[in-house]
Structure 1
Amino acid sequence: MFDNYLIRKDSLENVYENKKAVGFRFAVRIADYRGCFLSLHNGYYIECDGVEYPRELQKFEVNGKAPRDFEEIKTCVWEHWNFDDEAYVYVEKEGGLEPGMHRIKLQQSILSQYGYMPWDEEWLVNPPVPGHGAGAGKTVNICEFELELQKGA
């Protein structure tokens, strides 16, 4: 529904630990107009410059809390991500990104928060892999963005 606004265009930057680039991050918004409880947020399909970065290499920062992996996020049943709140997705990548333009493909995976579908209980145990159709929520398509790496972080 809000696919064109999922990533803030000027937010792509490298992440550093001990002055060494360990990955990159970018600011995101939720595609669901209701927001969601974090436990329903299942991660992202992320491809940057032709390289896919699975959920295991991703962390998520929202509500003023430190970045968390999606195993921890799925336990946050009372914490809500509101529609207009910006969050950050962190991606582990040794050395970070090179300066310049980068093509990012992205799809959010937010599990349904209303109604009951036969696969809901299975998804609690085995969440669908983002980018492969199931669990895409309001972002049915994989969206593409051209972002320039910013200095910072």
Structure 2
Amino acid sequence: MLEKECIQSRGFKNIVEDNEKVGFQFEIRLMYYRGLWLSQIRPISVKIDGEAINQEDILWEIEGEEYTQTEMEKIGDIQWNVLTPAIIRVKKNGGLESGYHDLEIDHRFSSSYMPPDMDEVLSFGSHKRRLLLI
């Protein structure tokens, strides 16, 4: 079941490959009342403990498939469903230490019934949440 907040408390963990922490991930829910095509989603910005993450270090997982933000710009036939959280993966050598972390995201979308210059109005806005990494 999804939580009310955009940033979900479940799913916050380090990414481990070959016994090494290579990053972290978290889940977000769609705050729009209906699904969005991937091409409608604008790049997400992520800050962890005040540190801004580079755009090229952010990946999205939608319905089990992973995408870069650049790839998503061209995908108009796959939808992010309102009832399915997206997993945001962040490349970060060493991952995160156990304990509390302050996570902040900001992302926007375009709408098929609004002109493109309205993207700034159609915003999921900035979301902040303090999460515990065990």
- Note whether the superposition's TM-score is higher than 0.5: yes
Q: Give deviations 1:4-60, integer Å, cap 9, x for gaps.
A: 521111321000111111100001111211120001112212110010013221000
Measured on the aligned residues, the alpha-carbon RMSD in Å equals 1.8
Q: Which is worse superposed, 108-117 or 34-43?
A: 108-117
Gaps of 5+ in 1: 121-133
The CA distance in 2 between the partners of 1:51 and 1:15, in whole Å, is 18
Distance in 2 (CA, whole Å) between partners of 1:57 and 1:135 is: 23
Aligned residues: 131
**Contact map agreement 1:31 1:138 (CA 8 A) in 2:** no
1:101: how far off?
Answer: 0.3
Q: 1:25 to 1:50 in 2, by over 3 A?
A: same
Task: Tell me whether 1:11 sits opposite 2:7 in the alignment.
Answer: no
Partner of 2:133: 149
Stretches of structure 2 that go unaligned for 5 or more consecutive residues are none
- CA shift in 2, pair 1:62/1:115, >3 Å: same
Q: Deviations over 1:36-91 (max 9, x none)?
A: 000111221211001001322100001121x2111111121110111111110001
Task: State the TM-score, normalizing by the size of structure 2.
Answer: 0.88
Aligned-residue identity in percent: 26
Aligned to 1:90, what secondary structure does the other structure show?
Answer: strand
1:136, distance to aligned residue in structure 2 (A): 6.5
SS at 1:89's partner residue? Answer: strand
What is the CA–CA distance in structure 2 between the aligned matches of 1:108 and 1:148, rounded to whole Å?
A: 23
Q: Is the 8 A contact 1:110 1:136 kept in 2?
A: no
TM-score by length of 1: 0.78
* Residues 23, 90 of structure 2: 8 Å contact kept: yes
